[in-house]
Structure 1
Amino acid sequence: MQIVGYETGAPDGVAALLLADDGEIDRQPLDPGDRLALTLDERHCAGAIDRSGETSRHIRCDAPRAPYCPQHTDRWPCARCTGDCDLPLETCREEHAVYLAAFAPATFKVGVTRSWRLDTRLREQGADRAAHIRTVENGRIARQVEADIAREVGDRVRVPTKIEGLHRAVDADAWSALLADYDPIGTYTFEYGLELTERPVVERMATGTIRGTKGRVLVLDRNDSTYAVDMRELVGHEVRREPSSRQLQSSLGAFE
Structure 2
Amino acid sequence: MQIVGYETPGGALFVSDGPGAAVDRVPLDPGDRLDWALADRHCAGTVHEGDHVACDAEGAPYCRDHRSTWVCARCTGTCLKDEMDCFDDHAVYLAAFAPDTFKVGVTREWRLDTRLREQGADRAAHLRTVENGRVAREREAGIAEEIPDRVRVPTKIAGLGATLDAEAWDDLLAGFDPLETFEFDYGLDLSGRPVAETLAAGEVVGTKGRVLVLRNAGTTYAVDMRSLVGYEVESGGSRRELQSSLGAFG
Residue 243 of structure 1 and its aligned partner are, at CA, apart by: 1.7
Picking from 198, 206, 216, the partner of 1:204 is 198
Q: Give identity over the alignment, percent.
A: 64
Conserved 8 A contact 1:39-1:241? yes
The 8 Å contact of residues 45 and 62 in structure 1, kept in 2 or not, is answered as: yes
Q: Matched residue of 1:232: which SS?
A: helix
Q: Tell me if 1:103 matches 2:97.
A: yes
Matched, 1:118 2:118: no
In the TM superposition, what is the alpha-carbon distance from 1:91 to its structure 2 partner? 5.0
Alpha-carbon deviations, 1:194-235, whole Å to 9, x = none?
111111001100000000000000000011110000000000
Determine whether 1:195 maps to 2:193.
no
Q: Residue 169 of structure 1: CA displacement?
A: 1.4
Shift in alpha-carbon separation, 1:168–1:19, aligned structure 2, 3 A? same
- Structure 1 segments, 4+ long, off by >4 Å, are 86-91
Q: CA deviation at 1:106?
A: 0.5
- Per the alignment, residue 7 of structure 2 pairs with 7
Q: Supply the RMSD in Å over aligned alpha carbons.
A: 1.6
Q: Return closer, same or farther for 1:50/1:176 CA change in 2, 3 Å cut-off.
A: same
Separation in 1 of the partners of 2:185 and 2:83? 33
Counterpart position of 1:63: 57
Deviation, structure 1 residue 3:
0.3
- In structure 2, what is the Cα distance between the partners aligned to 1:197 and 1:109? 25
1:102 & 1:243 partners in 2: Cα distance?
35
CA contact (8 A) 2:202 2:215 kept: yes
Q: What is the CA–CA distance in structure 2 between the aligned matches of 1:177 and 1:82, rounded to whole Å?
A: 26
Are 1:232 and 2:232 matched, yes or no? no
**Cα distance, 1:242 vs. partner?**
2.5
The one-letter code of the counterpart of 2:68 is D
Q: State how far apart, in whole Å, the 1-side matches of 2:179 and 2:198 are.
A: 39
Name 2:148's counterpart in structure 1. 154
**Which one of 3, 10, 16 corresponds to residue 12 of structure 2?**
16
Pairing partner for 1:138 from 121, 132, 136:
132
| Contact kept? 2:72, 2:80, Cα under 8 Å | no
Report how far residue 116 of structure 1 moved: 0.3
Counterpart residue type for residue 224 of structure 1: G
Q: 2:215 aligns with which of 218, 221, 236?
A: 221
The 1:39–1:86 alpha-carbon spacing in structure 2 relative to 1, beyond 3 Å, is closer
- What amino acid sits opposite 2:134 in the alignment? R
Q: How many residues align?
A: 247
Which SS does the other structure have where 2:60 is aligned? coil
Say if 2:42 is the partner of 1:44: yes
Moved more, 79-88 or 28-37: 79-88
Q: Unmatched 5+ residue regions in structure 1?
A: none
TM-score, with structure 1 as normaliser: 0.93
Residues 167 and 196, structure 1, Cα contact 8 Å, conserved in 2: yes
Give the drift of 1:86: 7.1
